[in-house]
């Protein structure tokens, strides 16, 4: 599948970023400019069924990893650094399992390789409660979604998926039908488990429950050269809630000299 992408930076080591479920490359645009200052050429991908990438009835980590492999091959990227948040983190971990030796370093943000029970039911109900045919404004969509998601910041993030098509009608960039059908699989554990020797950074939010203390042993058994960093005061969206601290942790792992990206 040919994925939509945004490029930030023209030179430097290639670094590919994969967003989480309900997200898109747009979520990473602001912070990517700071990361690029560290000497990287960034590729922000919209994963299938998200953003401006094509829709498909298939949505599991093996096909997400295959999409990433196709992108790397098409763009002739030599062992890029792979960074993924949440669903994107699972996707880059699955890529590491399925395509050994085709990346240099792995950065996984607030997700582990284990199974996660479905916990997006209310959000999906909120999406479905919005009748696009009768919707007249984003404020109306926000009002409806507020009955299912109380956090205004999360609602703002979710409603970035709402856009007006060429006819001026509201529509979703998300393939909600496929995501709802495959939502259980989005929480599934990794397949084809093998040990990974490439340097791996796992970043978790101190206030997030996605990576618990009891999960760390499993992560270290799979990722043999693993650095675990906890960002204080951050929840699941570490890069959005604590961008300065996130970049500092990332740059330290990637060996970027102190002071790079200080324009942030």
Locate 69 and state its tokens: 């492999």
86 is catalytic: yes
120 is catalytic: no
Q: Count of residues for the chain?
A: 264
Catalytic one of 50, 59, 85, 236: 236
Catalytic one of 86, 119, 134, 208: 86
Would you please indicate which residues are annotated as catalytic (active-site) residues?
A: 86, 236
């Amino acid at each position: 599948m040919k994925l939509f992408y945004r490029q930030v930076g023209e030179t430097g080591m290639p670094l590919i970023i994969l967003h989480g479920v309900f997200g898109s490359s747009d979520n990473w645009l602001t912070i990517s400019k700071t990361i690029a200052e560290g000497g990287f050429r960034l590729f922000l991908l919209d994963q299938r069924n998200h953003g401006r990438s094509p829709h498909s009835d298939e949505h599991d980590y093996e096909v997400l990893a295959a999409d990433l492999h196709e992108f790397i091959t098409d763009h002739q990227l030599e062992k890029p650094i792979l960074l993924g948040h949440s669903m994107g983190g699972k996707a880059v971990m699955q890529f590491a399992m399925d395509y050994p030796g085709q990346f240099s370093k792995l950065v996984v943000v607030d997700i582990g390789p284990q199974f996660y029970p479905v916990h997006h039911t209310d959000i999906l109900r909120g999406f479905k409660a919005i009748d696009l045919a009768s919707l007249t404004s984003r404020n109306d969509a926000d009002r409806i979604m507020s009955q299912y998601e109380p956090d205004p910041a999360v609602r703002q993030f979710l409603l970035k998926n709402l856009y007006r098509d060429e006819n001026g009608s509201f529509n979703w960039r998300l393939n909600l039908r496929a995501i709802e059908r495959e939502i259980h699989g989005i929480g599934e554990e990794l397949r084809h488990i093998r040990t990974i020797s490439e340097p791996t950074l796992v970043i978790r939010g101190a206030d997030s429950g996605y990576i618990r203390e009891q999960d760390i042993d499993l992560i270290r058994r799979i990722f043999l050269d693993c650095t675990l960093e906890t960002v204080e005061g951050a929840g699941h969206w570490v890069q959005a809630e604590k961008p300065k601290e996130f970049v500092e942790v990332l740059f330290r792992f990637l060996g970027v000299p102190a002071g790079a990206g200080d324009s942030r």
